[in-house]
Amino acid sequence: MSKMKTVYDKLLPDVKKQLQASARKYGSAKRLKYILMSKTMWNELTIEDMKDLLTFGDVTSYKLDWQSFMYGENILEK
């Protein structure tokens, strides 16, 4: 039986790399990393979690459309 992937596991490599770098510097980024490791679906995240992910994952929000916010497109692997 395979382990179910978490939101953290599903992050695009560039986003995950930037989040890891931020987690080494900031406690709130480390907290976000653990939150993402505890969730298995995008819709379990709060708006605050998504805001922090955009900040600490270095994701530019003006390039994202509504599907990115609703379903994690352009943030999560397909």
The residues spanned by each domain of the chain are: 7-71
> What is this structure's pTM?
0.90
User: Which positions ≥6 away from 40 have C-beta within 8 Å?
Assistant: 4, 5, 6, 7
How is residue 41 annotated by DSSP? S
Give tens-digit pLDDT for 27-77. Answer: 999 999 999 999 999 999 999 999 999 999 999 888 889 999 999 999 999
Using CA atoms, how far residue 18 sits from 4, 11, 54, 56, 64, in Å, is 23, 11, 10, 7, 17
| Strand ranges for the chain from DSSP E | none
User: Per-residue pLDDT tens for 9-23?
Assistant: 999 999 999 999 999
